[in-house]
Homo-oligomer: A and B are copies of this chain.
Amino acid sequence: MRVRIKDIAERAGVSTGTVDRVIHNRGNVAPRVKEHVEKVMIEMGYKRNIIASTLAYNKVHRIAALIFEQNDPYWHQLYQGIERAQEATQHYGVTIDAFFGDQSDPEIFAQLAREILDSRPDGVLVAPLFLKQGIDFIQQCHKRSIPVAIINTQVPKSKALCYIGQDSYQSGVIAARLLNFGMKRKATVLLLNLDPGPANAQHLVDKERGFRSYFTTIEGKCINVISENFEHFNDRKALNQRFLEILEEHPDLTGVFVTNSRAYKLLDAVEQKYFENLVIVGFDLVSPNIHNLKSNKINFLINQNPSLQGYLGVINLVNHLILRQEVSPIQYLPLDIVVRENCDYYTRSSVSFPSVVF
């Protein structure tokens, strides 16, 4: 049988109230008594019964999540992870409010951040897509002693509780390694940002650094890395035109690395025949990408596991807030290499989320 407060109290010759005060550091305990009780607790190996504790607290913990539009498949997956965590933690009195920003509008992000701060949540989960506004928000939370779990985009030197996501630099390295597999001695590879641009998005910069660095280390090959930012990724005509220009400029192009989940946009915009000799590496198991992976148009996808990011973000907040556990500040998720043959096992959600807390 586990040791209870009552057992400690008996052995120490005090009441349960006193033991309670010692455990919670409520003060008003004679120093000598406190010391003694602490000794007995260690001796008997007391561990708080989280079940009973949670029940007695009878408190609601509100977590606010600042993420992005649900109609983007990537963010939708992330939100699903959060919902799963919500289910898993509801018994502990956790409620989650999600706020959905706009990927192309930092101002909306800042506005939502203000709303969240006004609502005084117990914990915050944030994807700080915009570096400046993100840092500011995290700072404000820190000032109010609200723990913050960061996902998706790592913010250096932040005062957050933890970061959960990938090592962007290394994901660039992996992408390079994958492109390198079938590559000739001399070739050109394209790094393509289908994104508003790396100006305010550090992870794109990191990916490029990792990508380029890999090609400088390999021996016996001479790879020319070119990079391109293409902001209006929904304009298929323009994207098609630009890509054909690049192809013409670089007839030895053998690989394309799309730095986010939008590889499918490229494949949608440009005629199939141009890809026949190209290796394509992209990110994320969103359905249009999976479709292209299965029909051999995309060769590799790197899984960022957004749903796990959302799930673990919440779980870590709960671990901190309720279970009062140590939370490790940087939790890099694996860089899953996904090909046609192992794709299905990553998309089944039944496994990745254990239905159990602690």
A residues with CB within 8 A of B: 49-52, 54-55, 87-92, 164, 167, 170, 173-174, 177, 181-182, 214, 311-312, 315, 318-319, 323, 325, 328, 331-337, 339, 341-342, 345-346, 348, 350-351, 353-358
Contacts and interface: CB of A to CB of B under 8 A. Distances in A.
A278 B145 CA distance: 56
A18 to B, nearest CB: 23
A174 B341 contact: yes
Q: Which 9 A-B pairs have the closest CB atoms?
A: A356-B357, A357-B357, A335-B342, A88-B358, A334-B345, A337-B337, A315-B354, A315-B356, A331-B351
A350 B164 CA distance: 11
Q: Indicate how many identical chains form the complex.
A: 2
B332 A351 contact: yes
Contact of A356 (B55, B88, B337, B348): B88
Contact of A334 (B54, B91, B312, B336): B336
Nearest to A356: B357
A177 B354 contact: no
A291 B14 CA distance: 55
B355 A325 contact: yes
B341 A173 contact: yes
Contacts of A355: 315, 319, 323, 325, 357-358
A334 B357 contact: no
A331 B356 contact: no
A342 B350 contact: no
